[in-house]
Amino acid sequence: MTAYPLTIPAVLDAAELAQLRAILLAGPWEDGLATAGPLSAPVKRNRQLPEQCPAAREAGAIISAALGRHALFMSAALPARIAPPMFNRYRAGEAYGAHIDGALRQSQGLRIRTDLSATLFLTPPQDYEGGALSITMGAMPLDIKGKAGDMILYPSSTIHAVGPVTSGERLSCFFWVQSILRDPIQRQTLFELDRAIQGLAACPVPSETLLGFNQTYHNLVRMWADG
Express each pLDDT in 44-96 by its tens digit. Answer: 999 999 999 999 999 999 999 999 999 999 999 999 999 999 999 999 999 99
Alpha helices in the chain, H assignment, sequence order: 14-25, 54-69, 71-77, 184-201, 207-224
Do 206 and 98 lie in one domain? The reply is no
pLDDT of residue 224: 97
Mean pLDDT of 127-137: 96
Bind-site residues for Fe cation: 99, 101, 160
Q: Is residue 1 in a domain? A: no
pLDDT of residue 202: 85
Whether the bond into 155 is cis, omega within 30 of 0: no
Do 109 and 213 lie in one domain? The reply is no
Bind-site residues: 99, 101, 160, 170
Do 117 and 208 lie in one domain? The reply is no
Backbone φ/ψ region at 34: left (φ over 0), alpha (ψ -120 to 50), beta: alpha
Bind-site residues for 2-oxoglutarate: 170
Do 108 and 199 lie in one domain? The reply is no
Backbone φ/ψ region at 143: left (φ over 0), alpha (ψ -120 to 50), beta: beta
Domain that includes residue 112, residue range: 6-179
Quote the mean pLDDT of the chain: 94
DSSP-derived letter for residue 125 is G
pLDDT of residue 62: 97
pLDDT of residue 37: 82
Quote the pTM value: 0.93
Query: What are the tens digits of pLDDT across the range 145-166?
Result: 999 999 999 999 999 999 999 9
Reply yes or no on whether the pLDDT at 201 is more than 90.
Answer: no
Backbone φ/ψ region at 206: left (φ over 0), alpha (ψ -120 to 50), beta: beta
Reply yes or no on whether the pLDDT at 2 is more than 70.
Answer: no
Reply yes or no on whether the pLDDT at 27 is more than 70.
Answer: yes
Q: What is the CATH number of the domain that holds 38?
A: 2.60.120.620
Distances (CA, A) of 176 to 132, 152, 155: 19, 12, 10
Spatial CB neighbours of 85, under 8 Å, sequence gap ≥ 6: 56, 59, 60, 63, 64, 120, 173, 174, 175
The CA-CA-CA angle for residues 66, 69, 70, to 5°, reads 90
Into how many domains does the chain fold? 2
Reply yes or no on whether the pLDDT at 1 is more than 70.
Answer: no
